[in-house]
Amino acid sequence: MAVIDVKTDITGNVWKIVTKPGDRVGEDEPLLILESMKMEIPVSAPEAGVVKEILTTEGATVTEGTVLARLEV
């Protein structure tokens, strides 16, 4: 099985984490939600798989390119 790093494309705050390690997710399913400029932006799974790790916490500030999660596909 391959491991994929899920990165953010924007700078923002982690508003809500909607999955946890061990959860099975589908392609394009939200893993967490960022808040940036008063907008909620979901960060979705690029492929179907299992959440291996969540590498951030709710309330954390993240910058473009930060690895937020790892998926096993």
pLDDT tens, the chain, 73 aa long: 899 999 999 999 999 999 999 999 999 999 999 999 999 999 999 999 999 999 999 999 999 999 999 999 9
Q: What is the dihedral of CA 44, 46, 48, 51, to 10 degrees?
A: -60
CA distance 29 to 61: 22
Work out the burial of residue 61: count CB atoms within 10 Å of its CB; fewer than 13 is exposed, 13-18 middle, 19 or more buried.
exposed
CATH number of 3-72: 2.40.50.100
pTM of the complete model: 0.92
Domain parsing of the chain, residue ranges: 3-72
